[in-house]
Structure 1
Amino acid sequence: MAAPGFSPTPTKTTYDVVIIGGAIMGSATAWFLSDNPDFNGSVLVVERDPSYAQCSTAHTNSSIRQQFSDPLNIRISQFTARFIKELPERMNDSRVPRLDVQNYGYLYLADTPGFAEVLRRNAEVQRAEGAGTEILNRDEIAARYPFYQLDDILAGSINTRDEGYWDGGTLFDWFRRSARDRGVEYVANEVTALTREGGRITHVTLASGEHIACGHVVNASGPRAARTAGMAGIKLPVEPRKRFTWVFSAETPLDRELPLTIDPSGVHVRQDGPTTYLAGAAPEEDLAVDPGDFVMDHARWQDHVWPILATRIPAFETIRVVTEWAGHYAYNTLDQNAILGPHPEIGNFLFQNGFSGHGLQQSPAMGRGLAEWLTYGEYRSLDLTPFSFDRITKGHPMIERAVI
Structure 2
Amino acid sequence: MAAANFNATPSKSSYDVVIIGGAMYGSSVAWFLTDNPDFDGSILVIERDPSYEKSATAHTNSCIRQQFSNPLNVKISQFGAKFIDNLKEFMGNDSRVPDLSIQSYGYMYLADNTAFADQLRSAQQVQLAAGAATQLMTPEEISAAYPFYYVDDIELGSINLVDEGYWDGGTVFDWWRRSARERGVEYVAGEVVSMSKSANGTRVETVTLANGAVIACGKVVNATGPRGAMTAKMAGIGIPIEPRKRFTWIFSAEQPLDRDLPLTIDPSGVHFRQDGPKTYLAGGHADHDPAVDFDDFTMDHSLWQDKIWPTIATRIPQFEAIKVVTEWAGHYDYNTLDQNAILGPHSEVENFFFVNGFSGHGLQQSPAMGRGTAEMLTYGEYRTLDLSPFGYDRIAKNTPFSETAII
Q: Counterparts of 1:51 and 1:378 in 2: how far apart (Å)?
A: 34
Report the equivalent of 1:392. 395
Q: Counterparts of 2:163 and 2:317 in 1: how far apart (Å)?
A: 28
Given the alignment of the two structures, is residue 222 of structure 1 paired with residue 222 of structure 2, yes or no?
no
**What is the CA distance between 1:30 and its match in structure 2?**
0.2
CA contact (8 A) 1:270 1:278 kept: yes
Report the equivalent of 2:212. 209
Letter in 1 for 2:10: P
Q: TM-score w.r.t. structure 1 length? A: 0.99
Unaligned runs of 5+ in 1: none
Letter in 1 for 2:53: A
**What is the CA distance between 1:284 and its match in structure 2?**
2.8
Q: Deviations over 1:29-59 (max 9, x none)?
A: 0000111111110000000000000000000
Secondary structure at 2:290's aligned position in 1? Answer: coil
**What is the CA distance between 1:86 and its match in structure 2?**
1.3
Report the equivalent of 1:318. 321
Q: Counterparts of 1:5 and 1:61 in 2: how far apart (Å)?
A: 25
Report the equivalent of 1:88. 88
**What is the CA distance between 1:291 and its match in structure 2?**
1.1
Picking from 368, 372, 375, the partner of 1:372 is 375
CA contact (8 A) 1:65 1:106 kept: yes
Given the alignment of the two structures, is residue 264 of structure 1 paired with residue 270 of structure 2, yes or no?
no
Q: Counterparts of 2:155 and 2:287 in 1: how far apart (Å)?
A: 26
Total equivalences in the alignment:
402
The ranges of structure 1 where at least 4 consecutive aligned residues each deviate by more than 3 angstroms after the TM superposition are none
Q: Counterparts of 1:4 and 1:111 in 2: how far apart (Å)?
A: 46
Q: Counterparts of 2:145 and 2:293 in 1: how far apart (Å)?
A: 43
Secondary structure at 2:272's aligned position in 1? Answer: strand
Q: Counterparts of 2:186 and 2:58 in 1: how far apart (Å)?
A: 21
Report the equivalent of 1:33. 33
Q: Counterparts of 1:4 and 1:292 in 2: how far apart (Å)?
A: 20
Q: Counterparts of 2:230 and 2:188 in 1: how far apart (Å)?
A: 20
Report the equivalent of 2:301. 298
Letter in 1 for 2:44: L
RMSD: 0.7
Q: Counterparts of 1:345 and 1:16 in 2: how far apart (Å)?
A: 19
Secondary structure at 1:274's aligned position in 2? Answer: coil
Q: Counterparts of 2:84 and 2:135 in 1: how far apart (Å)?
A: 24
Q: Counterparts of 1:304 and 1:262 in 2: how far apart (Å)?
A: 14
Given the alignment of the two structures, is residue 105 of structure 1 paired with residue 84 of structure 2, yes or no?
no
Given the alignment of the two structures, is residue 245 of structure 1 paired with residue 221 of structure 2, yes or no?
no
Q: Deviations over 1:348-379 (max 9, x none)?
A: 00000000000000001111001011111110
Alignment of 1:108-147 (within 5 A): 108-147=109-148
Q: Counterparts of 2:4 and 2:394 in 1: how far apart (Å)?
A: 42
Picking from 353, 357, 361, the partner of 1:358 is 361
Paired-residue identity, % = 68
**What is the CA distance between 1:391 and its match in structure 2?**
0.1
Secondary structure at 2:220's aligned position in 1? Answer: strand
Q: Counterparts of 1:5 and 1:262 in 2: how far apart (Å)?
A: 39
Q: Deviations over 1:132-168 (max 9, x none)?
A: 1011111011110000111111101000000000000
Q: TM-score w.r.t. structure 2 length? A: 0.98
